[in-house]
């Protein structure tokens, strides 16, 4: 068997040579990790400081009186006080519950529509451009209709969230399915993948990265619709972030108002970070990006 062993060595040698330069990720020392963390942190801190300074400068300029436009020196303490109160957490809880429920509904509707459109040609011709059109529609215009349909209720808000988010989710799914590489489809066909397995083993995972992009966009629309909804559809005595915002306006409490604006921004950034993380790790796993 000396000949076989020869071949074996040749193959293994070639594999080793081919793989060598691909090893891009080496273990980093703790110092390097810290340096890297600092490299991505300081520009953010600098930008934040700059915003705070600019804000304070505008306040000092006396452009508006301070009870309408308070500076960070007054808003930030209000914010820190606010987040220690149970009312605040109750408001966040209600708002996030609405956000997740609405998003889950939009997800279900979006997936069904997306699958149907990608599966049936006539349906795509019929409502394909409608889906794109709906995505560009400012969801706030649905509220008067939603309030007629459902009254001043959470259902009205859910209705608008679904209308706002489902088109993006459906669109992400359809384009994900449309852009599955033809070579993979051919391989799947050659392996005899069909029916449910064609979807579960090939189409769905292949479409996943673009689907996640659709989810991310859908979330953005859901979140905007929800905020608009909580400001417009004021459900009596029901605490929420939107309710807190309109309360603060009615009481001319600018500090509290701005504190809640910052909260809305922070929640948006957090969820966006999560989607980016999901997107990146998917792409890395799929080998689309490193």
Partner 1 sequence: MTTITASRTDANAVDIDDISKVFGRGQGAVTAIDGMSIHVRKGEFLAILGASGCGKSTLLSLVAGLETPTSGNVSVGEHRVAMMFQEAALFPWLTVGANVEVPMKVDKVPKAERDKRVADLLELVRLTGFDRKRPHELSGGMRQRVALARALAQDADVLLMDEPFGALDAMTRDILHDELERIWRERSLTIMFVTHNVREAVRLGDRVVLLSSRPGRLIAEFEVAGERPRRIDSALIAEQAAGITDRLRAEVARHA
**Contact residues for partner 1, defined by CB under 8 A:** 3-4, 7-8, 10-12, 14-15, 18-19, 22, 181, 183-184, 186-187, 189-193, 197, 201-202, 205-206, 208, 285-288
Identify which of residues 136 and 181 has a Cβ nearer to partner 1 in the complex. 181
Report in angstroms how near the CB of residue 288 gets to partner 1 at its nearest.
8
Report in angstroms how near the CB of residue 191 gets to partner 1 at its nearest.
5
Identify which of residues 45 and 191 has a Cβ nearer to partner 1 in the complex. 191
DSSP 287: T
- Tracing tokens 């993948």 back to the chain, one arrives at 193
CB 207 within 8 A of CB 173: yes
Alpha carbon dihedral 189, 192, 198, 202, in 10-degree steps, equals -60
Q: Distance between CA atoms of 274 and 216, rounded to whole angstroms?
A: 9
CB 173 within 8 A of CB 118: yes
Report in angstroms how near the CB of residue 97 gets to partner 1 at its nearest.
33
Report in angstroms how near the CB of residue 202 gets to partner 1 at its nearest.
7
Identify which of residues 60 and 179 has a Cβ nearer to partner 1 in the complex. 179
Report in angstroms how near the CB of residue 141 gets to partner 1 at its nearest.
39
Residues 6+ apart with CB under 8 A from 278: 212
CB 198 within 8 A of CB 166: no
Identify which of residues 10 and 47 has a Cβ nearer to partner 1 in the complex. 10
CB 228 within 8 A of CB 157: no
Identify which of residues 3 and 27 has a Cβ nearer to partner 1 in the complex. 3
Identify which of residues 39 and 288 has a Cβ nearer to partner 1 in the complex. 288
Return the axis-axis angle of helices 254-286 and 204-232, rounded to nearest 10°: 170
Identify which of residues 202 and 233 has a Cβ nearer to partner 1 in the complex. 202
Report in angstroms how near the CB of residue 214 gets to partner 1 at its nearest.
17
Q: Among residues 115, 230, 93, 227, which one has the least CA distance to residue 166?
A: 115
CB 211 within 8 A of CB 176: yes
Report in angstroms how near the CB of residue 103 gets to partner 1 at its nearest.
24
Centroid of chain to Cα 169: 11
DSSP 29: P
Question: Tokens representing 137?
Answer: 């529609």
Report in angstroms how near the CB of residue 168 gets to partner 1 at its nearest.
23
The total of other beta-carbon atoms located within 10 Å of residue 126's CB is 11
Identify which of residues 17 and 148 has a Cβ nearer to partner 1 in the complex. 17
């Amino acid at each position: 068997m000396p000949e076989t062993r020869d071949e074996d060595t040749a193959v293994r040698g070639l594999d080793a040579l081919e793989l060598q330069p691909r090893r891009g990720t080496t273990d980093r020392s703790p110092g390097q990790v810290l340096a890297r963390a600092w490299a991505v942190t300081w520009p953010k801190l600098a930008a934040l400081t700059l915003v705070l300074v600019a804000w304070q400068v505008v306040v000092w300029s006396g452009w508006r009186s301070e009870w309408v436009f308070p500076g960070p020196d007054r808003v930030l303490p209000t914010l820190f006080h606010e987040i220690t109160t149970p009312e605040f957490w109750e408001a966040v809880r209600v708002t996030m519950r609405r956000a997740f429920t609405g998003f889950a509904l939009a997800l279900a509707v979006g997936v069904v529509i997306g699958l149907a459109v990608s599966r049936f040609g006539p349906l795509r011709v019929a409502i394909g451009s409608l889906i794109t059109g709906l995505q560009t529609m400012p969801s706030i215009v649905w509220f008067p209709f939603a309030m007629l349909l459902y009254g001043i209720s959470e259902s009205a808000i859910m209705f608008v969230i679904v209308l706002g988010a489902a088109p993006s989710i459906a669109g992400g799914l359809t384009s994900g399915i449309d852009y599955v590489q033809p070579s993979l489809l051919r391989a799947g066909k050659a392996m005899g993948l069909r029916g449910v397995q064609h979807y579960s083993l090939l189409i769905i995972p292949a479409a996943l990265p673009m689907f996640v992009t659709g989810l991310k966009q859908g979330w953005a629309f859901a979140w905007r619709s929800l905020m608009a909804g909580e400001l417009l559809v004021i459900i009596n005595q029901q605490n929420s972030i939107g309710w807190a915002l309109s309360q603060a306006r009615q009481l001319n409490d600018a500090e509290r108002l701005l504190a809640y604006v910052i909260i809305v921004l922070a929640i948006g950034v957090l969820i966006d970070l999560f989607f980016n993380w999901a997107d990146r790790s998917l792409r890395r796993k799929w080998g689309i990006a490193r």
